[in-house]
Amino acid sequence: MRVLITGAAGFLGSHLCDRFLADGHQVVGLDNFITGHADNIAHLIGQPDFEFVRHNISTYTYVAGPLDGVLHFASPASPIDYLEHPIPTLKVGALGTHNALGLALAKRARFFLASTSEVYGDPLVHPQPESYWGNVNPVGPRGVYDEAKRFAEAMTMAYHRYHGLDTRVVRIFNTYGPRMRPRDGRVVSNFIVQALAGEPITIYGDGSQTRSFCYVSDEVEGIYRLFTSGDNDPMNIGNPTEYTVKQLAEVVLDLTGAKVPIEMRPLPVDDPKVRKPDITRARTMLQWEPAVALRDGVARTIEYFRSLGPERLGARG
């Protein structure tokens, strides 16, 4: 197969490039580096089956040659990133998805949308099955991401129903691991980087809010299986083991051995109180479930951040 991956220099996009290449496929990677980083794909540059194009998918996009798959992973995805880039976030979910769908249709390629657990908003149903419609504030600060992804899902289903395009929609829950940007603002990267830099661990609110953290290798495996053998309906891929943010802080402090204080900060607006995927559909259809426990995944992520050195550890980019 020859596939196009948008957001190829991002955290998930770069791991996905690796996964397709490892299975003997050809990959065209596309990124505009708004939140992606060249280091994430440096090891792929010059490989015969990998091409990289620096381009913004929210503008007209042409790719020469055949494509069997278009995987749309480009988007700011961390709350502080989409607050800093609200309009590009809306555009990549809306215009970027439309361009990527149009390209898939022209090439008769399978289309794969990276959607998000944020489509469930601050959920009133727990855990969240795919059939839950969500509880999203369209005009709150997170609305730029949540509504863009909800639009992207609607657009993808329209291409499937109207044009008969073969499509996939994955709803990705909190994922962590090597190649996250050190200062991307997400809780796992923040806590580890703070611990390694000797800074206070910043807990927002009282730390009782929950998330379910999936290690990147598990997430990518689920995504790959959904692409190759899933169906057209949305699919949750995430780890159903739920932790409070406070428990995560304790795991990071324990594994790094850091003796840093905990600093309480205000809870961001519309911050979901709970989040946990119901993965019954992925279990039955894809025979998929996560294999990496939080402590193991966090230990591997700590090793990654340690290997970056102090300069990248301190940088926002």
Residue 78 C-beta: closest distance to ligand UDP, Å? 6
| Residues in CB range of 314: below 8 A, 6 or more apart | 182, 183, 197
When binding is defined by CB under 6 A, the residue of 19, 37, 186, 276 that contacts ligand UDP is 186
Q: Which is nearer to ligand UDP, 209 or 301 (CB)?
A: 209
When binding is defined by CB under 6 A, the residue of 105, 250, 268, 312 that contacts ligand UDP is 268
Read off the tokens for 48. Answer: 């015969």
Contacts (CB under 6 A) with ligand UDP, residues 196-255: 202-204, 209, 211, 245
Residue 186 C-beta: closest distance to ligand UDP, Å? 3
Contacts (CB under 6 A) with ligand UDP, residues 92-151: none
Read off the tokens for 85. Answer: 């880039």
When binding is defined by CB under 6 A, the residue of 4, 34, 63, 187 that contacts ligand UDP is 187
For residues 51 to 80, the per-residue mask of contacts with ligand UDP, x marking binding by CB under 6 A and - elsewhere, is: ---------------------------xx-
Residue 77 C-beta: closest distance to ligand UDP, Å? 8
When binding is defined by CB under 6 A, the residue of 35, 89, 99, 174 that contacts ligand UDP is 174
Residue 217 C-beta: closest distance to ligand UDP, Å? 19
For residues 13 to 32, the per-residue mask of contacts with ligand UDP, x marking binding by CB under 6 A and - elsewhere, is: --------------------
Q: Which is nearer to ligand UDP, 79 or 88 (CB)?
A: 79
Instruction: Answer yes or no whether residue 270 interacts with ligand UDP by CB under 6 A.
Output: no
H, E, C per residue of the chain: CEEEEECCCCHHHHHHHHHHHHCCCEEEEEECCCCCCHHHHCCCCCCCCEEEEECCCCCCCCCCCCCCEEEECCCCCCHHHHHHCHHHHHHHHHHHHHHHHHHHHHHCCEEEEEEEHHHHECCCCCCECCCCCCECCCCCCCHHHHHHHHHHHHHHHHHHHHHCCCEEEEEECCEECCCCCCCCCCHHHHHHHHHHHCCCEEEECCCCCEEECEEHHHHHHHHHHHHHHCCCCCEEECCCCEEEHHHHHHHHHHHHCCCCCEEEECCCCCCCCCCCECCHHHHHHHCCCCCCCHHHHHHHHHHHHHHHHHHHHHCCC
Residue 204 C-beta: closest distance to ligand UDP, Å? 4
Given the residues 82, 120, 145, 176, the one annotated as active site: 145
Catalytic residue status for 176: no
Binding site for ligand UDP (CB under 6 A): 78-79, 174, 185-187, 190, 202-204, 209, 211, 245, 267-268, 271
Catalytic residues: 145
